[in-house]
Amino acid sequence: MPSIRHFFRASILAALLPCAAQADTVVLHAERATAGADPHTSARMVEVELKPESRKALADFTRERVGKRIQLRSNGVLLSSATLMSPLEGGSFRITAGEHGFEGKSADEIAQGIMKTGELTVDDENAAK
């Protein structure tokens, strides 16, 4: 017959497993998003300035994930997937388009979409979307 201690450990493990498999998602609110071109490479990019409360949320989220991969999305479009080398603690950042833009969308479309909703999401790379 299993002991109470065995049952308790199994219950804790069962309760923790779903949490370990879940990925966190943080919603960020943009103050401003503008399309442009990188002055050195001419690659299309979007510059994003976050609202103050989102600056803290992004810093907290990334501080816990240094060395891990995260994803940045806007309106369901993957904008960037990268391994964090350090926490993102500034109030603004630049996202450079890949070879085919942002999943086929232009930097202008992405910037307009961000300004329309005012939101971006950042999550763990393995988050189901």
| pLDDT tens-digit profile, the chain (129 residues) | 444 443 333 333 333 333 344 468 999 999 999 999 988 888 899 999 999 999 999 999 999 999 999 999 998 889 989 899 999 998 999 999 877 678 888 999 999 999 999 999 999 987 655
Check: CB of residue 123 under 8 Å from CB of residue 27. Answer: no
CA gap 107, 12 in Å, rounded: 47
Strands of the 119-124 sheet, one edge to the other: 77-83, 69-74, 119-124, 25-37, 44-50, 92-96
The single residue listed with the structure tokens 């991969």 is 69
Cα 95 to Cα 44: distance, rounded to the nearest angstrom: 9
